[in-house]
Amino acid sequence: MAEKGKNVHEGHRKRMREQFLELGLESFNEHQILEFALFYGIPRNNTNVIAHALLNEFGGRLCDVIEAPRRRLMNIRGISENSATYIMFLREFSSYYIKNRQLDPDEQFTDEIKDVCAYFEALFAGVEREEVHAAAITPKYRLLCERKLAEGDITSVGFPRRKLMDFVSECGCDKVIIAHNHPHGFAVASKDDFYVTRELVHDFRKFDIEIADHIIVSEGGSQSMRTSHYAGSIWTEEL
């Protein structure tokens, strides 16, 4: 019989910690990665069983578990309110780390579009609703500030012109990149995206403010409208 108060899974957890420290996360399969992560949010229960239940419920992929809604997580036996919050924290922490890593003060943005796209891909990671963000930049593409301007539903979001103008004014910049996500679609601009972007580029140009690009982000990647064959003409049109 186990001693009262003793964690009967401690030996297994110790072996997994040693494996991680010696061989790294690549030595684990996806189930073991989730099991290991849950050690620190569920200190006493069998996270092996819970990890299997989570993966079975949410499609078998770790990313789908991490991005699952909090209420659905709590439907799984062994997932309490605290542990569901911990899983949400893992998602937010991962996104914050990637974004923060992109914002190295000595590098930040470069004028290479792939770096700008990578930043917004990190920013929208795990976001289930459409959002509009803006990033104020210097002429050499150094990031000055970034802000979420609007949040919609899972399929649409409005572009708040007034908030965008206020953002540009507060940051004291004359060059800005806008971005929004298609969480359940593709990184391709819709007809509405095209017309809204065209209006913003032309309208803000009247105030000597450059909308440098519009980035569309989806789960599968991102697209710069300025460098795309179907929307790039927006930036070469005359007023």
pLDDT (mean) for 63-88? 91
pLDDT (mean) for 184-199? 92
pLDDT (mean) for 37-61? 91
Distance CA 226, CA 178 (A): 11
The pairing of beta strand 221-224 with beta strand 175-182: unpaired
Give the pLDDT score at 67. 84
Structure tokens at 16: 């997994």
Q: Is the pLDDT confidence value at 4 over 60?
A: no
Higher pLDDT pick, 230 / 98: 230
User: Using 50, 70 and 90 to split pLDDT, how confident is the model at 9?
Assistant: low
pLDDT digits (tens, 9 = 90+) for 144-178: 888 999 988 878 888 899 999 999 999 889 999 99
Give the pLDDT score at 106. 46
pLDDT digits (tens, 9 = 90+) for 79-93: 999 999 999 998 888
Mean pLDDT score across all residues of the chain? 86
Give the pLDDT score at 214. 96
Give the pLDDT score at 105. 47
Q: Is the pLDDT confidence value at 5 over 50?
A: no
Percentage with pLDDT > 70 across the chain:
89
CB–CB of 187/223 below 8 Å?
yes
Distance CA 185, CA 187 (A): 7
Structure tokens at 45: 């229960």
Q: Tell me phi and psi for residue 216, to 5 degrees.
A: -105, 130
pLDDT (mean) for 31-59? 92
Q: Tell me phi and psi for residue 161, to 5 degrees.
A: -60, -40
Distance of CA 229 to the CA centre of its chain: 26
> Which amino acid makes up residue 33?
I
Distance CA 53, CA 146 (A): 38
Strand 210-218's sheet: what is its strand order?
A: 143-151, 131-137, 175-182, 210-218, 221-224
User: Using 50, 70 and 90 to split pLDDT, how confident is the model at 43?
Assistant: confident
Question: Bridge partners of 210?
Answer: 175
Q: Which residues contact 108 (CB under 8 A, 6 or more apart)?
A: 102, 141, 142, 143
3-state secondary structure of 132: strand
